[in-house]
């Protein structure tokens, strides 16, 4: 069976910090650098915030956070079953925000794109959004970790 | 959640902890209360004790920069470390706000 983790949380803003800490803890087995962990936490925070503010428009809903590790790559998906995004390309433009009054910077997707290695946004208006991200953790790190584990055997 | 210190024409607001969408509203309200209570030329936001910031924090800073600009003042950002410094740099905050070590 494929190895993965799955987290179900309500769309409560307190869960933003919970979700990013859980994914960071899961990613720890790749022995990431402090900087890589910070990148992952920032991107997950943006994705979960997006689900709460835009997917559910601050109304109650369920968010699923999935993560798996493939070789040296962490894959994370943040899924909501909210209103979806009409124009994904536009939503992903830097500084674009559909909620200009709320002092949102419009940088959410730009941060996810820049702090992770891969980003894909799948959305169906009326049924929800799936944000797929991947982060490669430096290969040298993984090799060192394997060496350490080898020595422990 | 935040402390402040007034030094003549400068107001220093020191933030701490994690700044995300959840904590942003309260931080913004507290900052604005202080900005209106102490109209100064320079607002210094000290983020030295901020351990995490996402784009919600960027929104707060851009919003306060606009308020200060409208009043003819300036905003400086002080003490950013590690992840916080990187997202500020990434978002271009240092292009509009002077960076203090």
pLDDT tens column, A76-94: 999 999 999 999 999 998 8
pLDDT tens profile B39-50: 999 999 999 999
Residues 6 or more apart whose Cβ sits within 8 Å of residue A88: A121, A123
| Cβ–Cβ contact B20 with A under 8 A | yes
pLDDT at A145 over 60: no
Distance CA A142, CA A50 (A): 31
Cα nearest neighbour of B82 on chain A? A35
Most B CBs within 10 A among A56, A93, A103, A109, hence the mutation to make, goes to A103
Per-domain residue ranges of chain A: 4-142
Q: Residue B73: helix, strand or coil by DSSP? A: coil
pLDDT at A140 over 60: no
CATH fold for domain A4-142:
Heat Shock Protein 90 (3.30.565)
Averaged pLDDT of chain A: 91
Per-domain residue ranges of chain B: 2-100
CB burial of residue A134 (10 Å; 0-12, 13-18, 19+): middle
Q: For residue A148, what pLDDT band results from cuts at 50, 70 and 90?
A: low
How many Cα neighbours within 13 Å face the side chain of B26? 11
* Both tokens assigned to A20: 């990013």
Smallest CA–CA distance, residue B98 to chain A, in Å, is: 19
What is the number of CB-based contacts under 8 A between chain A and chain B? 64
- What average pLDDT does range A60-68 have in this prediction? 98
- Pair B19, B49: CB distance under 8 Å: no
CATH fold for domain B2-100:
Transcription Regulator spoIIAA (3.30.750)
* Both tokens assigned to A95: 């500084």
| pLDDT at res. A144 | 62
Closest CA to B26 of B52, B57, B4, B54: B57
pLDDT at A118 over 70: yes
Pairing state between β A128-136 and A73-80:
antiparallel
């Amino acid at each position: 069976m494929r190895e993965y983790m799955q987290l179900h949380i309500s769309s409560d803003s307190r869960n933003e910090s919970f979700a990013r800490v859980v994914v960071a803890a899961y990613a720890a087995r790749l022995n990431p650098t402090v900087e890589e962990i910070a990148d992952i936490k920032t991107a997950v925070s943006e994705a979960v915030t997006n689900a709460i503010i835009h997917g559910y428009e601050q109304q109650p809903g369920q968010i699923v956070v999935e993560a798996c590790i493939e070789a040296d790559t962490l894959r994370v998906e943040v899924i909501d079953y909210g209103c979806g995004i009409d124009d994904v390309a536009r939503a992903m433009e830097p500084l674009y925000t559909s909620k200009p009054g709320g002092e949102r910077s419009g940088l959410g997707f730009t941060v996810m794109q820049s702090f992770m290695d891969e980003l894909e946004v799948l959305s169906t208006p009326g049924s929800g959004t799936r944000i797929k991200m991947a982060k490669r953790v430096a290969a040298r790190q993984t090799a060192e970790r394997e060496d350490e584990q080898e020595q422990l055997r | 959640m935040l402390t402040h210190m007034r030094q003549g024409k400068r107001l220093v607001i020191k933030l701490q902890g994690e700044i995300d969408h959840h904590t942003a509203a309260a931080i913004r309200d507290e900052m604005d209360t202080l900005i209106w209570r102490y109209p100064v030329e320079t607002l210094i936001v000290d983020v030295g004790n901020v351990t995490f910031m996402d784009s919600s924090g960027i929104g707060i800073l851009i919003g306060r920069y606009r308020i200060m600009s409208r009043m003819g003042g300036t905003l400086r950002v002080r003490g950013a470390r590690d992840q916080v410094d990187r997202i500020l740099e990434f978002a271009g905050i240092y292009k509009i706000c002077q960076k203090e070590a």
